[in-house]
Amino acid sequence: MFKIRASQAYKIFSKKLKLEKTAKSYLIEWFAGDNEPIHSKYFAKGNTVEEECIQFCAEVLGYGILFKNEETKEDEFFKGTADIVTTEYIIDVKSPWNQKTLHEHVLDPMPWMYYLQLQIYMYLYERKKAILFYGLMDTPIEIGYHETNFESLPNEKRWFAYEVDFNPSIIKDLIDLVVESRKFLKEHERGLKSVLGKLNTYGIQEKNLHLESIDNDPTSNNFISDLLWQKLAKYQ
């Protein structure tokens, strides 16, 4: 049964509260098992320095020490593993690539994908508040193009954070979208079963004909002959 991971919730969410084209594309990929892990220098850095960033977060926020959470939570609709769980807060840590990206995060609104992620974490772990923490850590030389020395900067130039309150209405909207996603996936599966493993008859049907997308250029991959053009024209 389809459940949305906290980190992927933005892929199905729409302020119109319906499945948009991009959401349906994501669901089709999910159904096909096309869920390859993300590979990028930014993702690699975040994973590599995560523990350092957690301890930096603990230092500047006055916690003394914090431990990475290893417990995954899930229910009928959602699944996720928060970075840090305290008695009061969910804390998610991010490590920007460099000073430029840190400053961009400072000046821009909180990314919607992180806001939804935190809402699901608060729901699953039963917390009313969350913190999104950005900490600028040195980039490991094996990941970066050159040596960095961000940790020599004053602490106040290396971090900032958002505090977020739990919003139950967002959770309700997300639950509705998960339900809609399941309906879409059920129809998608039914459509596949109707043709897979069968000899299907192909015919030109007016409702499926889109001549405006067909070229009459012999060099085009969409080339169609003059004779066939004449036959197709009567269907317009």
Digitized pLDDT (tens) for each residue of the chain, 236 residues in all: 999 999 999 999 998 889 999 999 999 999 998 776 667 888 889 999 999 999 999 999 999 999 999 999 999 999 999 999 999 999 999 999 999 999 999 898 899 999 999 999 999 999 999 999 999 999 888 886 677 889 899 999 999 999 999 999 999 999 999 999 999 999 999 999 988 888 888 765 554 545 455 455 544 444 444 555 455 555 44
Q: What is the 3-state secondary structure (H, E, C) of 49-97?
A: CHHHHHHHHHHHCCCCCCCCCCCCEECCCEEECCCEECCCEEEEEECCC
Question: What does the angle CA 138 – CA 159 – CA 44 come to, to the nearest 5 degrees?
Answer: 40
In degrees and rounded to multiples of 5, residue 180 shows phi and psi of -65, -35
Q: What pLDDT, on the 0 to 100 scale, is given for residue 228?
A: 52
Q: What pLDDT, on the 0 to 100 scale, is given for residue 37?
A: 66
Q: Tokens for 144?
A: 């970066």
Q: Domain limits of the chain?
A: 4-188, 205-236
Q: Which amino acid is at 124?
A: L
Number of neighbours of residue 23 by Cβ within 10 angstroms: 19
* Residue 99 burial by Cβ neighbours in a 10 Å radius (0-12, 13-18, 19+): middle
Extended beta strands in the chain, E state: 4-5, 73-74, 78-80, 84-85, 89-94, 129-135, 159-165
Q: What pLDDT, on the 0 to 100 scale, is given for residue 40?
A: 84
Q: What pLDDT, on the 0 to 100 scale, is given for residue 230?
A: 55
Model pTM greater than 0.85?
A: no
Q: What pLDDT, on the 0 to 100 scale, is given for residue 235?
A: 46
CATH topology of domain 4-188: Lambda Exonuclease; Chain A (3.90.320)
